[in-house]
Amino acid sequence: MSTSKFGEYGGQYVPEALMPAVEELTDAYERYVRGNEDGFMDEFRRRLRDFGGRPTPLQRAEQLSARYDSEVYLKREDLVHGGAHKLNNALGQVLLAKYMGKERIVAETGAGQHGTATAMAAAHLGMPCEVYMGERDINRQRPNVFRMRLNGTEVTPVTAGRGTLKEAINETMRDWATNVEDTHYVIGSIVGPHPFPRMVRDFQSVISEEAREQVRERAGRLPDSVVACAGGGSNTMGVFHEFVGDADVDLYAVEAGGSSLDVDEEAGVAPNSASLSTGDEGVLHGARTKLLQDSDGQVMESHSVSSGLDYAGVGPELAHLVDEGRVTPATVDDDAALEAFHRLSQEEGIIPALETAHAFAFAHEHPDELGDVTVINVSGRGDKDLESVIEESAERDLDAAPDMDAFAGGGL
């Protein structure tokens, strides 16, 4: 039986009405995911391959390799069906819900990628689905909202607080508490009560299983470093997991430094989403973890130019690995992420998600820390971010950006 804790982190801090559901899910996780009962994992792998498009390539980035005078490989999760690593987890959980006999799926989403992946998985497996999304995020991520609706999912706006991921999670937990008997909550990251952090990591660890084998094949050795962006942390743990035991491989979790690492305690706002780098231990959304909070323990509003990283907490396993010194946290600010977004688009022909752009910005700022062989996880593609990139880039003086006035409609 897997423990619910990672050191001091993790656990199950949820309302009593949800505890039986969490226990039922723990049992299902042990049987189907860890025990492959009824061939669950075989079916999951088959569907990941046929529906999801796995394995994804490990591509050598020629321009970046030349620039940094090292071998830089890109794990192309942007090529998974739906355009992000999120499908690995969503497909796993919706399939598990079916094995458990559940009849309805609920999920929350920030950037919309998890909502989109869940909507696709639910349509693929014939399950009705409702996704909660902050009103502010709905406005920032309209293409994904439309995609979810095309897949037959109901998208419900959440207006509480700042209308971002934190509030959407609260609302989804309320729905789950009300409909727990026939509904499964597909949590979108390695957060929440046990078994979610372990289960989501297991579904995502296909990324590092493939990457580890691919990099040995391509470079003839393990990498010196693996770099991934970290919001909740699912792509991060996904690409780290199989390397955690390789002590010589440095693991960098790159968080959103937003506009500043300082906090406005009075206003209860952290203008960043860097909970691994600057957060304190606390309890949020079912788990003990590192989070952005004021001195009283009230959870702060976070910020990032990337909706997908805009969350005040982080997965408990990542918090533990940071405390253990196994994972190195780093931050990249909004401007650097936008620069990296444009640079990668131009130099490699890959339009990355704004989340992913944080990982590339870190590589750009710290080339000497990467070593001779690096794997960067391209967690998702950036189509969903085009509107906010145009808007945010126009407000800034970015070296790598094209003439943003042209995007206003005049010069195209």
Partner 1 sequence: MSRIDEAFADGPAFIPYLAVGDPDYESSKAYVEALARGGADVIELGLPFSEPVAEGPTIQGAVTRALDAGMTPDRYFEFVEELDVDVPLVCMTYYNLIYQYTAGDDRREGPRPFVERAAEAGIEGFVVPDLPAEEADPLREACDDHGLDLVFIVAPTTEGDRLDRIMERVSGYVYVQARLGVTGARGDVSGQTDEALARLTEWDVPKAVGFGIKTGEHAERIVAGGADGIIVGSALVDIVAEGHEANRPVDEVAADLEAKARELAEGAAAGYAQRVPEPERT
Q: Indicate which residues carry an active-site annotation.
A: 86, 108, 379
Q: How many CB atoms within 10 Å of residue 15?
A: 12
DSSP code at position 84: B
Residue 293 CB, shortest distance to partner 1, in Å, is: 7
The answer to whether 13 contacts partner 1 (rule: CB under 8 A) is: yes
Residue 193 CB, shortest distance to partner 1, in Å, is: 9
Q: How many CB atoms within 10 Å of residue 281?
A: 14
The answer to whether 16 contacts partner 1 (rule: CB under 8 A) is: yes
- In the chain, helix, strand, coil percent, each to 5? 45, 20, 35
Residue 132 CB, shortest distance to partner 1, in Å, is: 13
Among 47, 140, 285, 384, binds partner 1 (CB under 8 A): 285
Q: Which range, of 20-28, 210-218, 245-253, 342-350, touches partner 1 by CB under 8 A? A: 20-28
Among 298, 324, 383, 386, binds partner 1 (CB under 8 A): 298
Helix/strand/coil (H/E/C) assignment for every residue in 268-337? CECCCCCHHHHCEEEEECEEEEEECECCCCCECECCCCCHHHCCCCCCHHHHHHHHCCCEEEEEEEHHHH
The answer to whether 178 contacts partner 1 (rule: CB under 8 A) is: yes
Among 88, 293, 331, 345, binds partner 1 (CB under 8 A): 293
The answer to whether 19 contacts partner 1 (rule: CB under 8 A) is: yes
The answer to whether 268 contacts partner 1 (rule: CB under 8 A) is: yes
Residue 26 CB, shortest distance to partner 1, in Å, is: 11
Q: Which range, of 171-179, 213-221, 320-328, 374-382, touches partner 1 by CB under 8 A? A: 171-179
Which pair of structure tokens corresponds to residue 71? Answer: 């071998």
Strands 104-109 and 183-186, bridge-based pairing: parallel
Residue 130 CB, shortest distance to partner 1, in Å, is: 15
Pairwise CA distance, residues 37 & 105, whole Å:
22
With H, G, I as helix, E, B as strand and everything else as coil, classify residue 154. strand
Pairwise CA distance, residues 128 & 105, whole Å:
6
DSSP code at position 409: T
Residue 194 CB, shortest distance to partner 1, in Å, is: 10
Residue 299 CB, shortest distance to partner 1, in Å, is: 5
First-to-last CA distance in the chain?
A: 59
Among 46, 60, 149, 174, binds partner 1 (CB under 8 A): 174
Among 173, 226, 237, 330, binds partner 1 (CB under 8 A): 173
Among 6, 9, 21, 91, binds partner 1 (CB under 8 A): 21
Pairwise CA distance, residues 82 & 62, whole Å:
26
Among 100, 123, 177, 390, binds partner 1 (CB under 8 A): 177
Number of residues that bind partner 1 (CB under 8 A): 35
The answer to whether 15 contacts partner 1 (rule: CB under 8 A) is: yes
Q: Which range, of 82-90, 106-114, 170-178, 398-406, touches partner 1 by CB under 8 A? A: 170-178
Among 127, 158, 254, 284, binds partner 1 (CB under 8 A): 284
Pairwise CA distance, residues 227 & 239, whole Å:
8
Pairwise CA distance, residues 256 & 375, whole Å:
19
Pairwise CA distance, residues 232 & 314, whole Å:
4
Q: Which helix (H) or strand (E) holds 378?
A: strand 373-378
Which pair of structure tokens corresponds to residue 235? Answer: 């792509």
Which residues here bind partner 1, judged by CB under 8 A? 11-17, 19-21, 23, 160-161, 166, 170, 173-174, 177-181, 268, 280, 282-286, 293, 295-299
